[in-house]
Structure 1
């Protein structure tokens, strides 16, 4: 299970997961390649869903689609033998979709935020091949880990505060 958050500028409701930074994640500039950050967000999301929705029920197997992703790369993350930490929380809840906020931080002792991101997901009925409404227990689980969406650079262009 992830640990509760103590990182600066991350909601108290966020859950934090250690994510291994592999040597192969590095690029020619000796820092984590940008595409790897999306994999870190995905890995944290998989762990979060088990923690938030329970071990008996796998929301991913039932159907969940990523419909949009946005990320700001703030500082280059370099290889370290200690795992980085990814904080994840729910940033908004709709009828069939919800948003997650993320902060990719350094290993224990390094509270630097190297990247911030947002992902929007939709609950999906795999058999009917269409979105489905979130159930009351799903909405309640998301509400427990709810916090404000992270501010990203593109928000000014899109009219977000």
Structure 2
């Protein structure tokens, strides 16, 4: 299953060449990832996904320039790997006809009070598994 986020484009996202600046795409990915994590937080007193997280790695392939328009762009996000203390999410930024970007991010849950990474809880892993792509599941992308 994939999480879908409708990301609005802002006039200030454009660079001098008239398309979305490469650094702005990282903000689009962040917005989609935060929306994804907020929707996964189960509520009812659970603390899952309510702490912090840090980005350990971004990998981005820019496929095609994106120019300003009033319609939002779609950011699809899914999980490709779940380990004991991190997860990897993949993204596609696109619309109905065009793929603009493919990316992945390694995210580490982080305890800001203790100032150190923490392990994913069983509850968090269960939620993330719902978004684990089929190819990753067949390769055993869930660890510890």
Question: Same fold per TM (> 0.5)?
Answer: yes
Q: Check conservation: 1:50, 1:58, Cα contact below 8 A.
A: no
Match of 2:126 in 1: 140
Q: Check conservation: 1:87, 1:103, Cα contact below 8 A.
A: yes
**Is the counterpart of residue 82 in structure 1 residue 79 in structure 2?**
no
Match of 1:41 in 2: 29
Distance (whole Å) between structure 2 residues aligned to residue 138 and residue 111 of structure 1: 34
- Report the secondary structure of 1:67's partner residue: strand
Give how far 1:53 is off: 2.5
Among 89, 102, 105, the residue aligned to 1:116:
102
Give how far 1:54 is off: 2.9
Match of 1:21 in 2: 9
Distance (whole Å) between structure 2 residues aligned to residue 55 and residue 105 of structure 1: 31
- Report the secondary structure of 1:95's partner residue: coil
Distance (whole Å) between structure 1 residues aligned to residue 108 and residue 35 of structure 2: 18
Give how far 1:58 is off: 6.7
Q: Check conservation: 2:48, 2:121, Cα contact below 8 A.
A: no
Unaligned runs of 5+ in 1: 1-12, 150-161
Among 87, 90, 95, the residue aligned to 1:98:
87
Give how far 1:55 is off: 4.8
Unaligned runs of 5+ in 2: 137-144
Match of 1:9 in 2: none
TM-score of the aligned structures, taking structure 1 as reference length: 0.77
Output the aligned Cα RMSD: 1.5
Task: Report the count of equivalent residues.
Answer: 133
